Amino acid sequence: MKKKLLQQAYSPEDFRKRGHRLVDELANHLDNTLNEKSEKVIQWNLPEDEYIFWKDFMKDGDETKLFPEILKHTTHVHNPRYIGHQVSPPAPLGSLAGLISSLLNNGMAVYEMGMAPSAIERIITEFICAKIGYDENSRGFLTSGGTLANLTALLSARKAKVQHDVWNKGHHQDLGIMVYEEAHYCVDRAAKIMGLGEKGIIKIPATSNFNMDISVLEEYYQKAVKKGIKVFAIVGSAPATAVGIYDDLDAIAAFSKKYDLWFHVDGAHGGASIFSPKYQHTVQGIDQADSVVIDGHKMMMMPTITTALLYKDGNHSHTTFSQKADYLLEQSEDEDWYNLAKRTFECTKTMMSIQWYTILKTYGAGIFDEYVTTLYDLGHQFGKMIENNPQLDLAVKPMSNIVCFRFIDDSLSPSELNKINEHIRQRLLEDGEFYIVQTKLGVIYYLRTTIMNPFTTKEHLDRLLERISAIVK
Ligand SMILES: *Cc1c(COP(=O)(O)O)cnc(C)c1O
C-alpha cells in the first residue's frame, strides 16, 4: 500500500501552513465579531437548506473556503449582540490550549496517557474545592459536561446513601431524589437512567419567584416515604436554567442533614459565582453540599467541554464506579488519584484541565471574578431597564445574567400575546442582528436572554429593546 495520503495528512509543514492560515482567519473572526465589524450574529438558514449546502460543498466546494464557510454558518458567540444560550465566548487562549489537547490526544484514562493533564486536573479541582469552601478532604475531577457530571454525582449519592449494593446487585426497593420541578432536564434524565422511574423523581413546585419551594420539602418527603420510597438525595439548582433564580442552598442543606440525604448542587451555570465577592451570596450554603457541578464552558470563559465535579468528601469520588466495597478503596485512595478513568464515566476524555490551567496561570483567578461580576451586574441592569419599560413585562427580578421578559399589551388576549412574542423571537432570529432565545413558563411564552459576552453594553441592550419595539409595530 502506498502511503501518499497519509504522508500528506501528517506533514508537519502542511500543518504549519494551514495552522498559520487558520489562526489568521480566527483572529480576523474575533476582530469582526468582538468589534462588531460583521453585522450579524447569525445568518439564519432553514435546516434543510443548511443540509443541502454542506452536501453540495462536499461535492464541489473550494477546500480553502471550508473554514471560512464554517464561520459563516455558525452562531458568533463573541459578538456582543449574542445574548442567547449559556455557552461562554471562550477566552481565545483557552481555545489554543484546546488545540494542544486535540493534537496530543493523551486520553487521560490512565496516568501514563496524560501525565501533565492528570496532575493539572488535581491542581485545578483542588483550587475550585477551596473556593467552594471545602476542606482538604475534598476532591474532584473534570468530566464531559454538566449532564454527565449530574448523573455521576447522583450515582455517587446512591452508592453513599443506599445501604443495598445497587451497583452490583440491582434494585430491590424504590429509590427517589428530590429536585425543583424546573431544574435542568438532565437531572430528570439521570434519574431515569438510574431506573428511579417517574415516581422516584420527587418534583418540588416553584415559589412565585421561580425557585424550589422550601416550605413544602417536609410534606413531599413524608409523602414519598409513605409510598415506600427511600429518598437518598436532594438537588439544588444554582441557578435553574430557564429563569436563572438560585435555590436556597442553606435551607436545602439543613433539610438534607435532617434526613441524611446527599445534597447535590447543580451549579453548571452559576456555581461560578463562588469567584465573585459581590455575588457569592447567591450560593450561600454551597460549602455544605456533598457534591457540586460547575461548567467551565458556561460562566468561566472556557471552550466546551470543561466541567468540574467536586466532592466535599473526596473518598466518594473514588467509589462511584467501583465494584469493590468502600473500605478497600479508601485504603488505596491516595496512591490512585491519578488513574482518572476509575473515577469518571468516560474512559478516554479530552485534556480539559489544560484549558483551566492556562487561563488561571496567565490571568489569575481575578479574571473569573471580572467575568461573573460584569455579567451579573449587566443582568441586574437589564432587569431594571425592562421594569421601566411599560411595553414589557419582566418574568422575575434577575439574580444572575439570565433575564426573561415579554411584550405585553392590555388589549390583547394571553394567546395573542404568546403569538406576538413568538413572532418577535423568530423575527430576531431571521434578522440576525441579535441572538436571543425563548422559554415557556407555565403557559406563558417569554423571550429569554443570557448575557454571556462581557463586552455587551447597556447600549446594545437598549438597541435590542428598540428592535423589539419596531418589530411589534
Ligand atoms: C447547562 C446546564 C446543564 C447541562 O450541562 P451541559 O454541560 O450542557 O451538559 C445542567 N444544569 C444546569 C443548571 C445547566 O445550566
Kindly state if the Cβ of 184 falls inside 6 Å of ligand 1: yes
Q: Residue 123 — very low, low, confident or very high, per pLDDT cuts 50/70/90?
A: very high
Planar angle of CA 420, 375, 460, nearest 5 degrees: 50
Kindly state if the Cβ of 197 falls inside 6 Å of ligand 1: no
- Could you tell me the distance, in angstroms and rounded to a whole number, from the CA of residue 344 to the centre of ligand 1? 17
Q: How many CB atoms lie within 10 A of CB 226?
A: 8
Nearest CA to ligand 1 atom 10: 146
Question: Which amino acid is residue 1, in one-letter code?
Answer: M
Segment 241-262 mean pLDDT: 97
Report pLDDT digits (tens) over 302-360: 999 999 999 999 999 888 888 765 544 445 555 578 888 888 999 999 999 999 999 99
Kindly state if the Cβ of 241 falls inside 6 Å of ligand 1: yes
- Asked, for residue 356, whether it belongs to a domain, the answer is yes
- Could you tell me the distance, in angstroms and rounded to a whole number, from the CA of residue 349 to the centre of ligand 1? 18
Half-sphere exposure of 441 (CA within 13 A, CB side): 22
- Could you tell me the distance, in angstroms and rounded to a whole number, from the CA of residue 358 to the centre of ligand 1? 23
Can you give the three-state secondary structure of the chain, one letter per residue?
CCCHHHHHHCCHHHHHHHHHHHHHHHHHHHHHHHCCCCCCCCCCCCHHHHHHHHHHHHHHCCHHHHHHHHHHCCCCCCCCCECCCCCCCCCHHHHHHHHHHHHHCCCCCCHHHCHHHHHHHHHHHHHHHHHHCCCCCCEEEEECCHHHHHHHHHHHHHHHHCCCCHHHHCCCCCEEEEEECCCCHHHHHHHHHCCCCHHHEEEECECCCCCECHHHHHHHHHHHHHCCCEEEEEEEECCCCCCCCCCCHHHHHHHHHHCCCEEEEECCCHHHHHHCCCCHHHHCCHHHCCEEEEEHHHHCCCCCCCEEEEECCCCHHHHCCCCCCHHHHHHHCCCCCCCHHHCCCCCCCCCCHHHHHHHHHHHCCHHHHHHHHHHHHHHHHHHHHHHCCCCEEECCCCCCCEEEEEECCCCCCHHHHHHHHHHHHHHHHHHCCCECEEEEECCEEEEEEECCCCCCCHHHHHHHHHHHHHHHC
Contacts with 278 (C-beta within 8 Å, 6 or more apart), sequence order: 373, 376, 377
For CA atoms 363, 368, 374, 379, give the dihedral sign. Answer: positive
- Could you tell me the distance, in angstroms and rounded to a whole number, from the CA of residue 186 to the centre of ligand 1? 7
Q: Residue 121 — very low, low, confident or very high, per pLDDT cuts 50/70/90?
A: very high
Nearest CA to ligand 1 atom 3: 146
- Asked, for residue 217, whether it belongs to a domain, the answer is yes
- Asked, for residue 381, whether it belongs to a domain, the answer is no
For residue 340, what is its C-alpha cell?
Answer: 482518572
Evaluate whether 52 touches 40 at the Cβ level (below 8 Å).
no
- Could you tell me the distance, in angstroms and rounded to a whole number, from the CA of residue 235 to the centre of ligand 1? 13
Report pLDDT digits (tens) over 370-396: 999 999 999 999 999 999 999 999 999
Kindly state if the Cβ of 304 falls inside 6 Å of ligand 1: no
Identify the bridge partners of residue 449 per DSSP, sorted by sequence position.
Answer: 403
Instruction: Identify the pLDDT of residue 327.
Output: 47
- Asked, for residue 420, whether it belongs to a domain, the answer is no
Kindly state if the Cβ of 86 falls inside 6 Å of ligand 1: yes
- Could you tell me the distance, in angstroms and rounded to a whole number, from the CA of residue 268 to the centre of ligand 1? 5
Report the alpha-carbon distance of residue 316 to residue 329 in Å, rounded: 10
Kindly state if the Cβ of 358 falls inside 6 Å of ligand 1: no
Evaluate whether 281 touches 288 at the Cβ level (below 8 Å).
no
- Asked, for residue 259, whether it belongs to a domain, the answer is yes
Report the alpha-carbon distance of residue 186 to residue 38 in Å, rounded: 35
Report pLDDT digits (tens) over 426-446: 999 999 999 999 999 999 999
- Asked, for residue 278, whether it belongs to a domain, the answer is yes
Residue 172 lies in domain:
98-365
- Asked, for residue 472, whether it belongs to a domain, the answer is no
Instruction: Indicate the average pLDDT of the chain.
Output: 95
Segment 227-251 mean pLDDT: 97
Residue of 86, 188, 295 best suited for mutating to test ligand 1, as the one with most atoms within 8 Å of CB: 295
Give pTM, 2 decimals: 0.96
- Could you tell me the distance, in angstroms and rounded to a whole number, from the CA of residue 183 to the centre of ligand 1? 10
- Could you tell me the distance, in angstroms and rounded to a whole number, from the CA of residue 146 to the centre of ligand 1? 5
Kindly state if the Cβ of 295 falls inside 6 Å of ligand 1: yes
- Could you tell me the distance, in angstroms and rounded to a whole number, from the CA of residue 158 to the centre of ligand 1? 21
Please tell me the total count of domains within the chain.
1
Instruction: Identify the pLDDT of residue 321.
Output: 87
Kindly state if the Cβ of 186 falls inside 6 Å of ligand 1: yes
Segment 258-284 mean pLDDT: 98
Instruction: Identify the pLDDT of residue 341.
Output: 85
Kindly state if the Cβ of 247 falls inside 6 Å of ligand 1: no
- Asked, for residue 371, whether it belongs to a domain, the answer is no
CATH number, domain of 333, equals: 3.40.640.10
Report pLDDT digits (tens) over 193-225: 999 999 999 999 999 999 999 999 999 999 999
Kindly state if the Cβ of 133 falls inside 6 Å of ligand 1: no
